Amino acid sequence: MENRCGVAYQLYSKKKDTSATWKTGNQTRILEFLLLGFSEDPELQPFIFGLFLSMYLVTVLGNLLIILAVGSDPHLHSPMYFFLSVLSLVDVCFSTTIVPRMLVNIQTENKAISYMDCLTQVYFSMLFPILDTLLLTVMAYDRFVAICHPLHYSAIMNRHLCGLLVFVTWFIGFLTSLLHITLMMHLSFCRDLEIPHFFCELTHILSLACSDTFLNSILIHVMTGVLGVFPLIGILFSYSRIASSIRRMSSSGGKQKAFSTCGSHLTVVSLFYGTGVGVHFTSAVTQASQKVSVASVMYTVVTPMLNPFIYSLRNKDVKGALGRLLGRAASCL
């Protein structure tokens, strides 16, 4: 290839060929990428469509029920459930960023996604996991204050602080995602523009660039450390203090109550970090795009779907609020 950055590649779909690039001087600007998805087998497409549609509907319904239950039940008007409702909102947005676009591509048999739509998907697919990480850290701090400093809980976790913590998490998420997108917009893409994934994921996009991605890679590693490792350290520190406080409790009832309030959060933290690490480990040890995609499903689709069940099944207050909410809804029909 004599001039890699001067050649306009042609993408294709099952229905028609589409021009992937256009030239301005010596630069090549991308119009479209091609999301390869899970399988090229047409017989599997209805099954994949039905499976992901079902999981998406369960995710949206489950998380919206949590949000409605927290908002409508006075028993759940506390910092812990306020953060839970924000986490549920983030999970709905995370799934909505990825799944509907994939369903449309399957239904229309057109795997093309425009350059701007792909950048938008990259932005939000980074934003919401960052928010998940920071919100789980904030929730761990809330449990730390509740168990280790119960007499000062109301004074410390007041409405002002809760609102400020949520604002800071969103601000950090927006700013970090914006930095990644700003650097990406200066890249040139001169190779086959096929993404071996079911959504536009940052590292896959960078692997298609023919310009220097050193700064992008540095930013990824720095932000992974700052927004991945440090929040986990904060969570582990909070629970080490919580465990120490629980051991000093003389009442078995108090210990059981403390464990019950932390059990759901610990399960969600384990699921979130476990699937996240699984995705990165799979990407590092294998080049098989299908295995990476399957691992990503656990992180992007399954985890947001399971969170409402974890909190509702392991929490009597949430189960009671959901029961009252559904009872009121049934009486109105």
- pLDDT tens digits, 303-325: 999 988 998 877 888 888 888 88
The pLDDT mean for the chain works out to 84
Q: Cβ(203)–Cβ(164) under 8 Å?
A: no
277 vs 238, more confident:
238
For 109, phi and psi rounded to 5 degrees?
Answer: 55, 35
Angle, CA 126 vertex, CA 267 and CA 290 arms, to 5°: 80
* pLDDT surpasses 90 at 89: yes
Determine the average pLDDT of the residues in 219-233: 90
Determine the average pLDDT of the residues in 241-266: 81
Percent above pLDDT 70 for the chain = 85
Determine the average pLDDT of the residues in 227-235: 92
Produce one character per residue of 212-247: b if its CB has 16 or more CB atoms within 10 Å, e if not.
ebeebeebbeebeeebbeebbebbeebbeebeebbe
Q: For residue 281, what are its two tokens? A: 């480990």
Domains of the chain as residue ranges with CATH: 19-332 (1.20.1070.10)
Q: How far apart, in Å, do the first and last CA atoms of the chain sit?
A: 67
pLDDT computed for residue 288 by the predictor: 55
Name the pLDDT band for 94 (thresholds 50, 70, 90).
very high
CA 323 to chain CA centroid, Å, is: 28
Q: Cβ(105)–Cβ(113) under 8 Å?
A: yes
- pLDDT tens digits, 99-112: 999 999 999 888 89
- pLDDT tens digits, 109-149: 888 999 999 999 999 999 999 999 999 999 999 999 999 99
* pLDDT surpasses 50 at 236: yes
Q: Cβ(132)–Cβ(94) under 8 Å?
A: yes
Q: Cβ(84)–Cβ(304) under 8 Å?
A: no
CA 76 to chain CA centroid, Å, is: 25
pLDDT computed for residue 6 by the predictor: 39
Angle, CA 64 vertex, CA 61 and CA 68 arms, to 5°: 135
**Residue 205, beta-bridge partner list:** none
- pLDDT tens digits, 25-35: 444 455 789 99
Cα–Cα separations (whole angstroms), residue 311 to 42, 101, 162? 38, 28, 20
Determine the average pLDDT of the residues in 266-275: 89
pLDDT computed for residue 13 by the predictor: 38
* CB neighbour class for 109 (10 Å; exposed up to 12, middle 13-18, buried from 19): exposed
Q: Cβ(188)–Cβ(167) under 8 Å?
A: no
In the chain, the amino acid numbered 67 is I
pLDDT computed for residue 68 by the predictor: 94
pLDDT computed for residue 44 by the predictor: 85
Cα–Cα separations (whole angstroms), residue 126 to 138, 190, 314? 19, 24, 29
- Rounded Cα gap, residues 184 and 96, in angstroms: 23
Residue 299 CB coordination number (10 Å):
20
pTM score of the predicted model? 0.86
pLDDT computed for residue 290 by the predictor: 65
- Rounded Cα gap, residues 291 and 38, in angstroms: 9
Strands, sheet with 112-114, edge to edge from the N-terminal-most edge strand: 112-114, 32-35, 194-195
